[in-house]
Structure formats: C-alpha cells, structure tokens
Structure 1
Amino acid sequence: MKQSHLNITLFILLFTSSLLAQESKVIDVVSDRLEIDEKKYPGATLLSKIDNQVYLKHKGIEIWCDQAVHYGQDRFVKAYGNVQMKQGDTLTMNSKYAEYNGNTEFAYASTNVVLETEQNTLKTDTLFFDRLRQQAYYRSGGTVIDSSMTLTSRIGRYYMDRKFSTFTKEVVVVNNENTLNSDRLDYFNETGKVYLYGPSTVVSPESILYCERGFYDTKTDIGYAIKNARIDYDNRRVLGDSIYVDNNINFASATNNIRVIDTANHSLIKGHYAEVFKNKDSVFITKRALAISKQENDSIFIHSDTIMVTGKPEKRLLRGFYDVRIYKTDMSGKCDSLSMAQITGFTKMIGKPILWSAKNQMTGDTIQLISDQKTNKLDSLKVYNNSFLVQQDTLKEGFNQVKGAILYGLFKNNKLDIVDIDKNTETIYFQRDDKQELIGINKVACSNIRILFEEQEMTDIYYYDNVEGTLYMESELPPNARELQGLNWRGDELISSKKDLFRDEAPFQLTKIKGLPLPEEEKDFFDEETLKRINEQRSEHSRFKDVKLKEASDD
C-alpha cells in the first residue's frame, strides 16, 4: 500500500515502545512506502521510493535516496541508491551508499562519492563526514576540482567552517599548464592559495620549481619557495634561500646564498640577490656577485657590484658593473666595467682598467682580451691609449717601463709571450748582468718596440724606427728621472687570490628572509575523542564494524 509523507514520529508512536526524550534527536522521514520486516531488518523500518525519493532530515542535514533502512532506536539510517546528503547551501554529497548516525552526527559514504562545496567538487570512493567538527575526510584517494585547478591525493581532509583543506600522500595539482607535486599541501578554498610542506615541485612548460616549504597561488600562478629552493630554466638552474616566481612572465627572483648554474657553458654565478627573465635569456645578480667560468683546466673569477648575463647559450654576454675584479691563477685585473662575449671570445675592460700577468702590470684607457674559441685558451690582448707595461725591477730598485699608444700581447699556454707597442713608445729598463749586477738604466724612445718573455720575465727588447736612447749609469740618473710620465704603479691592489676579490669590502649582512609558518598541529581525524564518540554510540548495523577507522598510516 502506498503511503505518502509519513512522519517517523508517528511511526515511533505506533511501532516502538518508547518515544525519544529529545525531539531534536529524532530523524524525520518522508517516504512513499514503508515496510517492516523483523526477520530481515530487526528493529528497523524499510523506506522505499515509488514516485519520489525517500527524504530524511535531522538537525539541518537532509538526505534523499531510493531506499533507506531506518533504525529508530539507534537513530541510525542506511541509505541506498542515488543518495544525496545536503547541509544547507554549503555542502552536497552524492553516493551510491551512505549512512548517518543521529546520535554522533557522523556520516559515512561509499561508492562514487561526490562532495560539492561552494568552492569545489571532490570525487572519491569513501568519505567520512563529522558534522560536529564540520570536517570531511578521505584516505583511499580523491580528486578535487575547482575553477582554477584539479587536485588528486591519497588522503584529504576538509575543514568546512574554515574553508580550508589539507592533502597528503602523492598530491598532484594541475593548474592551467602547470603541475604541482607535493608530499603535503594546505589549500585555501576561496583564494586558491596553496602552502607546501615537504619535497614539492611546480612544473610549468618553461620551468621547474622545487622547494621543501613554499607557497603557490593557483589563480595567479605566482609562488614563493624557501628551504632548499631552486628553479630550473632550460640550461640554467637558480638556487637560493628564497625564490619568488611568476610563471605568467617566466620571471624569478632569488635572495641570499644564490647560485645560478649555466649547464650549457659550465659557468656559475653567486650572489645574494638575483633576477632571471627567462623570455629575455637574462640573469641579473648583485650583492657580492661572483661569476665563475671554466677556461681550459683553470677557472676565471669575476667579482663586481652587479653582474648581468644575457643571450642564448651559444651567444652569452656577461657584463660586470662597478668595481670589477678578475682573478685566475696566472692573471688578475680590475676595472670599472667589463663585458665578456662568448661568441667572439672578447673581454673588454674599461674605466681605469689594469691587468696583472705574473710580474707584469698593464694599464690603459681600454683593455681587450681575446680567447681562442676552439681551445678556450687566452690568445692575445690589446691595450688602447696611454698603454703602459710595467714590471718591478728584479731587485726592486725601480721599474722596467714601456709606454706607447697601443699595446698588443700574445699568449702561449696562457702566459704572456710577446708584446708589441706601437706609436710614440718610450722605455726605461734596468739592465743587469748574469749576476744581477746593475749595468745601467736604459732610456729609449722610438716608433715601435717588441718585448720577448720567458717565464713571464722580460728577456729581450727590440727597438724599431727613429730610435733614440741612452744607457745611464745609476749615479747619472736621479730617481725622479727613472719614471716615465703617467706611471702609476698599483702593486698594492694586486689580486693574488680568490680572497683578494673581496678585499676591503665590509662583511655582508644577509637579508632577513620572511619565512612561511609551519602548519598548525591538528589532531588526527579519528582522534581519541572522536573514536570514543563513534564507538560508544555506534549502531551494530553500521558498516563501520567492517571499516578500520584508525590505520597505522594515520598515526
């Protein structure tokens, strides 16, 4: 017989011996059909759909289903077929099966579970919902979809009142063209902001960001990473104490203890602040900036206030600005600005440039070094305008000096081998015998000079065209006449080690990094208090008897 809109209160009056004391705990029911089968469903009422789904309501939660078994004494319902459970406008849960306990206000759903909130949709196989704490939980894998991303994880926990979720174990977020992988992340439903904990990566078409604590905005594609943070752009890897990244423009900035590794050219730049513009193939680094690149079996170190590297891997251009200092084992130098072009092998130094090669000091208005592109060895150098080559006398009684308009130097095995000086050349040379006894001081002016070196020492000097010179005895030449006009010996500035690159610089104070808070300590979903509440009032008809609520992995 069809029965419509039958209230469970009437049923209890007719079919049970006692009425529940608190009406607020009564589960209200509307059903097309009501059946009692004590043999099959002892102590229960079977509610079934004919035209309309079975409807149940309890303290603000509504349930629709094709069939339900209601245990009035236990205040417990098992729902089957097209089950929908709704809590106001905030939550709707669909499944093939669900059960609800009015005493504990705890729900359990299984098979094709879909949970819809104001912000997103969750699909999973099994879901637990604690109404008292307003928390939902899955541990058998789930997929969350909202307007900005799709997330999958093995374990998930919703905090309904806080509009916040935590996902752990094999978490993957797909956002536009980006994919985020993490061991654990916290997700704020309304803002789309994600906080990452443990090893995590954000993979975009242009980069891979890694960190062990970080932040990522799934709506703006902007992130912030700390703790072992790094980002890879094609042939560049950037590491730092903190990294900010904007995937919309392929931009990253890094702060403190930075390393920018160029895998294509086997070079490294260090510093404490860097900016990388991937689309422009440029790196800007400052605050104790230091560039290191391989040159044959040696390394060249370049330190300056600011270093910029631009261009594709085969056309890299390195530029240093403000107090540039250079060091390699057989050469060092200083200048105000420097540019080093990979495609040509030219290094240009301007702004009071100076170069030291062993005992030789070279200065001029501009110095240009040329490397052999095939062998990567230093090939030659040019010094333009006001060129000076100075070498302290063996016994440090004066300076061997060569002055001219342009200086050309050739290197052999990275050591100065031949120097030619053109136009209006002048020399002062302390000439000694085999016993290093001073023979005299030779002053010569001519058009061109060639100097030969052995083990970086001047050994032979050849004078060409319009040669005028005198060999003076030491007593014949007063000290003030032993220096060519414009001589500036800068031996006290000599950079003889990597440590000297930072000489006279104050200790650097690192920027204070704004950290990301650690997640609040949350009780387990099935904590002691919740387990006690569920177990003390669990219906013997609940499937919970077959479900292990507390797993070892949840501890």
Structure 2
Amino acid sequence: MGSRDPHNPDVWILYNGVTAEHEGMLLFADSALLDVTGNNFTAYQNVKIQLSDTSFIYGDHLFYDAETRIVDIYGDTVTFIDGGTEMKTAHLSFDRIGNIASYSTWGRTTNADQLLKSREGYYNATTKMMEIFRKVELSDSSMVLYTDTLYYSTDNKTATFVSPTDIRTDSTFIYSERGTYNTETRYAVSTEASRIQSGARVLTCDSLRYDGLLRHGVAHGQVVIVDTVNQITCTGLFGVTDRQSNYSYITDSALVYLVDHGDTLFMHADTIFAYNDDNSQFTSIRANYHTKVFRFDMQGMCDSAYYSVTDSLLTLYGNPVLWYGNYQCLSDTISMQHDTSGVSLVLMRRNLFIAEWVDSLKFNQLKGRNGVMHFSGGEPSYADVLGNAQMVCYITEEDSLGRYSLIGVNVGVSSDMRIYFRDRRLHRLLSYVNPDMHTYPVDRLPDEYFRLHGFRWLDSRRPRTRLDVFQW
C-alpha cells in the first residue's frame, strides 16, 4: 500500500510491508519512501536486501541511491551475509557496481571459524577478499593476529599483512612487518623484521617460513636464536627450528656465544645445533666441523664440539687443540668445565701432549695416555699425567730484577706424574711408579728429548680475537 507525500508529490509513502526490486536486487521493509525524481529509496524497520541466492543484508534503516548503485544500511546491528561470510556493523555501505561491502565505524566478520574485527573494512563479494584497517584483529580457537592493515581471502584463508603484526598461539608468538598467514594450514611467511618466540627461545631473522602444525620453521638472513634464560645466542645466515624434535640449527657463518658467569665464550663451526627442553630452554649445543673456540682465558680448535648447558662442560672432538696462556694441549678428546671463576677442570683422554712455550725453539713438554688439569680461581693449580708419562722441563732461575734464565733441563719417564703450577709456570714435579729422571745442561740435551714424539706447535692457528674463530 502507498500514497503520495502531500508535501512532495515526487515522493511515494509505502507501508504495510514493502517489496521493491531494482536491477535484480530485492528490497523488503515495513515501510519506505520512494523518491521518483531523486531516483532513491529509503526504507524503515525490518529491512532486508537480497542480492543473490546466497547474499543478503539486514538492518533497521536503508537509503539506496539508484544512480550510484550504493546502499547505506543502518541499525543497532547491520548484518551482511555472503555465503559463509557474515559481516556485522552499525553502518554498512554496499556498492553494487564494485560488489563491495564496507564499514567505517567498527565491524566484525565471521568466516568459518575465523573472526575478523577492525575499525574500517571492505569486502569484495566477487573476489571474496577482505581489506580491513585500523586496530585489526583476526582470531579463531587456536590463534589471534593483531595488526593495522590486513588483506584476507575468505576462499583460501590466507591473511596478508603489510604493517607491524603479532600472531599469538598457545605456545608461539610471531612478529612480522610484512608477510602472510594461512589460518587453515597455520603456515606463516614473514619477509621483513621477522621474529618468533616460544618460551625462553627467541628467533629473529630477515625472512621466516613457519609451519604452525608441524612447528617447524626455516629462517634466512641475519638469523639470531637466543635462549634468554641461559644467555646463549646462536647467529648465522640460515637456520632451522623444529619444536617437535626440540632442536634448532644454524649454518653459514654460524656462531654461538655463551655468557657464563659474566664471561663470554664464542664458538664457530660449519653447522651449530642447539637442543632444548619442553620449555624451549637450551640443554646442549653441538658444533659440527671446522670448530674454533675463543674465550679471554682459553682458546680451542677441533673438528666438532659439544657443550652441556647444565654442567657448563665443553668437549672438543676430532684432533682437538686447547690453548691456555703459554700452554698448548693436544689429545684425542678434551673436556673443559667452568665455574664462577672460569675454567675449573680440563680432562684430556688418550694421546695427551702438553707443550709450554719457553722461547722460539724451546718448549716444556708433557706426554702421556690421559691427563687432568685442575684450576683454582681460574688459574692452573696442578695437572696429573696418567699412564706412560714423559716430560721435558727447562729449569729456570730468577735474578734480582725478576728476569729468568735457563740453567738446565729435566727429562724423564714414569707411570704417572703430577705437575704443580705457580703463576701459570711449571713449579714442581712428582713422579710415581718406576721413575727414570735425568738432568742435562741446556746445550747438551740429547736430540730425542728436544722434541718428544708427536710434538706439534699450532700457535699460528690459535684464535686471538672472537673474529678469528671464522678463520680455519
């Protein structure tokens, strides 16, 4: 039913249930005003628009401009439905030419299990793509994403972000400033300012690909993995993290540095593995191939190394070399334990050879099957050479000016030996079980004692700074 407006004959007043159609769009309302001259339509109460068999809009008040093909719908809750997508807001505009629904006064959209919220948003019903801005939130039962600009495909469930973005799950936090996230596969790609945190472990890099279902990530460019509890940092140019297997690894200029009681140990290798517990705290570090170690009080080199975080124990494997002051230690395997003062114990297993530089041609030498060096306050206290012990030790004398001169050489063999140190110098030696000891003038030392069998002086390969660990 309807009649002309007595004050404006170009306007028809329609009531008692209104149905209208314009170019395939159906409009329903309790009452309406049709402006014939202005070519627009205003509807009131129980407004419904049917755009297609699967696309509808519901609201309390509607204004439709037939010239621009734009519908503005108002209400306490305006609802736009397009198949499985449902958008709700207080004011929604629908552009029939572009097939785009939009809001600028806060809105929320649901699609399957996903909920999207923002202050401003646009939905293209043709491409099924959402563009939402300002205080954006995308969430479902297992994650929530916060950003300022987001493009979301309701078809392939992929969110694309181009502004600072946080993605949070029960166990993982991802930060990125550019990338994508698929809400079905939980696969994230970050191409700028990438960061992922799980418990105590934080990974940053230039670009990141992370599979949230497999909990597996691949990082490229300036990769840094940090255990914030144990103060361990791994760096490199390529990295992988696998939370299901509780490990990460870094390669390409790989470096790990461990802050231990205020001092830092730097270790480089071709590849560095970091193993963690269920709380993402590192439990051990493994360095594979071409390994070098630098710390202010000791340096090392070997094929591979293993560090136990719990025990503060570093073990060198594969032709290891350990330098401490003027001392060089060789053995099949060398283990070093640290305490609050620095190195506390060095264990050398099989084919022990310790050399101390005396001058450019002379070296104190200790050789045996196994060895243990004990430290006190970070300084060497005594060392035990266990099994087939041999030694060559130059005897020195100190003058009143504190200068040392050589006055002889002690050489000998026994089953075991103990050497005491003072001021990092050999001070006293004890021999156990069948000792055979001799003293020679320096210039009459037999040739076989000048260099014991197996002697190698590798000081040219010793790292002098933390950057030297990259030079093999």
Q: Spell out, residue by residue over 1:418-455, the C-alpha distance to the aligned partner (whole angstroms, 9 max, x if none).
A: 11111111111222322533323332111222222233
1:456 aligns with 2:424: yes
User: Partner of 1:348 in structure 2?
Assistant: 315
> Cα RMSD (Å) of the superposition?
1.9
User: Partner of 2:336 in structure 1?
Assistant: 369
User: Partner of 2:434 in structure 1?
Assistant: 466
Matches within 5 A, 1:198-237: 198-237=163-202
1:117 aligns with 2:115: no
Q: Distance in 2 between matches of 1:152 and 1:85?
A: 23
Contact kept in structure 1, 2:123 and 2:131, CA below 8 Å = yes
* SS of residue in 2 equivalent to 1:206: coil
From 430, 443, 452, the counterpart of 2:411 = 443
Instruction: From the superposition, tell whether residues 156 and 376 of structure 1 become closer, same or farther in structure 2 (CA, over 3 Å).
Output: farther
Query: What is the CA distance between 1:162 and its match in structure 2?
Result: 2.9
Matches within 5 A, 1:138-217: 138-217=103-182
User: Partner of 2:208 in structure 1?
Assistant: 243
The structure in which a higher percent of residues are helix is 1
Contact kept in structure 2, 1:119 and 1:190, CA below 8 Å = no
Q: Distance in 2 between matches of 1:300 and 1:190?
A: 51
Q: Which runs of 5+ in 1 are unaligned?
A: 1-32, 505-555
Instruction: From the superposition, tell whether residues 164 and 311 of structure 1 become closer, same or farther in structure 2 (CA, over 3 Å).
Output: closer
Query: What is the CA distance between 1:478 and its match in structure 2?
Result: 5.6
User: Partner of 2:289 in structure 1?
Assistant: 322
Amino acid at match of 2:59: S
Q: Distance in 2 between matches of 1:140 and 1:120?
A: 19
Instruction: From the superposition, tell whether residues 376 and 176 of structure 1 become closer, same or farther in structure 2 (CA, over 3 Å).
Output: farther
Contact kept in structure 2, 1:421 and 1:450, CA below 8 Å = yes
Q: Distance in 1 between matches of 2:394 and 2:60?
A: 102
Q: Spell out, residue by residue over 1:463-487, the C-alpha distance to the aligned partner (whole angstroms, 9 max, x if none).
A: 3332212222344336564111111
Query: What is the CA distance between 1:87 and its match in structure 2?
Result: 2.2
Query: What is the CA distance between 1:37 and its match in structure 2?
Result: 3.1
User: Partner of 1:397 in structure 2?
Assistant: 361
Q: Spell out, residue by residue over 1:85-110, the C-alpha distance to the aligned partner (whole angstroms, 9 max, x if none).
A: 22234632111111111122121111
Contact kept in structure 1, 2:392 and 2:449, CA below 8 Å = no
Instruction: From the superposition, tell whether residues 113 and 480 of structure 1 become closer, same or farther in structure 2 (CA, over 3 Å).
Output: same
User: Partner of 1:495 in structure 2?
Assistant: 463
Q: Spell out, residue by residue over 1:221-258, the C-alpha distance to the aligned partner (whole angstroms, 9 max, x if none).
A: 11111222101101111110012122223222221111
From 372, 380, 384, the counterpart of 1:408 = 372
Query: What is the CA distance between 1:415 and its match in structure 2?
Result: 2.5
Contact kept in structure 2, 1:148 and 1:219, CA below 8 Å = no
Structure (1 or 2) with the larger CA radius of gyration: 1
Query: What is the CA distance between 1:413 and its match in structure 2?
Result: 2.3
Contact kept in structure 2, 1:357 and 1:416, CA below 8 Å = no
Q: Which runs of 5+ in 2 are unaligned?
A: none
* SS of residue in 2 equivalent to 1:500: helix
Instruction: From the superposition, tell whether residues 144 and 268 of structure 1 become closer, same or farther in structure 2 (CA, over 3 Å).
Output: same
* SS of residue in 1 equivalent to 2:270: strand
Q: Distance in 2 between matches of 1:376 and 1:276?
A: 33
* SS of residue in 2 equivalent to 1:198: coil
Q: Spell out, residue by residue over 1:264-306, the C-alpha distance to the aligned partner (whole angstroms, 9 max, x if none).
A: 1111111122222224432222222111111112111111111
Contact kept in structure 2, 1:330 and 1:415, CA below 8 Å = no
1:84 aligns with 2:48: yes
* SS of residue in 2 equivalent to 1:36: strand
User: Partner of 2:451 in structure 1?
Assistant: 483
The structure in which a higher percent of residues are strand is 2
Please list every run of at least 4 consecutive aligned residues from structure 1 whose deviation after the TM superposition is greater than 3 angstroms: 477-481
1:108 aligns with 2:83: no
Q: Distance in 1 between matches of 2:103 and 2:174?
A: 28
Bigger Cα displacement from structure 2, 220-229 vs 477-486: 477-486
From 318, 342, 345, the counterpart of 1:380 = 345
TM-score, normalization: structure 2?
A: 0.94
Amino acid at match of 2:391: T
User: Partner of 2:390 in structure 1?
Assistant: 426
Q: Distance in 2 between matches of 1:496 and 1:329?
A: 9
User: Partner of 1:530 in structure 2?
Assistant: none
Amino acid at match of 1:36: R
Instruction: From the superposition, tell whether residues 376 and 152 of structure 1 become closer, same or farther in structure 2 (CA, over 3 Å).
Output: farther
TM-score, normalization: structure 1?
A: 0.80
Query: What is the CA distance between 1:190 and its match in structure 2?
Result: 1.1
From 212, 222, 226, the counterpart of 1:261 = 226
Query: What is the CA distance between 1:360 and its match in structure 2?
Result: 0.5
Query: What is the CA distance between 1:42 and its match in structure 2?
Result: 4.6
Amino acid at match of 1:449: M
Instruction: From the superposition, tell whether residues 98 and 419 of structure 1 become closer, same or farther in structure 2 (CA, over 3 Å).
Output: same
Amino acid at match of 1:347: L
Instruction: From the superposition, tell whether residues 57 and 376 of structure 1 become closer, same or farther in structure 2 (CA, over 3 Å).
Output: farther
Q: Distance in 1 between matches of 2:97 and 2:311?
A: 72
Q: Distance in 2 between matches of 1:424 and 1:164?
A: 79
Q: Spell out, residue by residue over 1:34-80, the C-alpha distance to the aligned partner (whole angstroms, 9 max, x if none).
A: 222313x552111223xxx4221112222111211101111110011
Contact kept in structure 1, 2:201 and 2:228, CA below 8 Å = yes
Q: Distance in 2 between matches of 1:128 and 1:376?
A: 71
Contact kept in structure 2, 1:424 and 1:447, CA below 8 Å = yes
Q: Distance in 2 between matches of 1:224 and 1:433?
A: 69
Query: What is the CA distance between 1:121 and its match in structure 2?
Result: 0.8
Amino acid at match of 1:426: Q
User: Partner of 1:15 in structure 2?
Assistant: none
Contact kept in structure 1, 2:341 and 2:378, CA below 8 Å = no
Query: What is the CA distance between 1:193 and its match in structure 2?
Result: 0.7
Q: Distance in 1 between matches of 2:302 and 2:137?
A: 51
Q: Distance in 1 between matches of 2:332 and 2:211?
A: 42
1:292 aligns with 2:290: no
Count of aligned positions? 465
Amino acid at match of 2:423: E
From 21, 29, 36, the counterpart of 1:72 = 36
Q: Spell out, residue by residue over 1:313-334, the C-alpha distance to the aligned partner (whole angstroms, 9 max, x if none).
A: 6771211111121110000101
* SS of residue in 1 equivalent to 2:164: strand
Amino acid at match of 1:205: D
* SS of residue in 2 equivalent to 1:492: helix
Contact kept in structure 2, 1:315 and 1:341, CA below 8 Å = no
Q: Distance in 2 between matches of 1:499 and 1:370?
A: 23
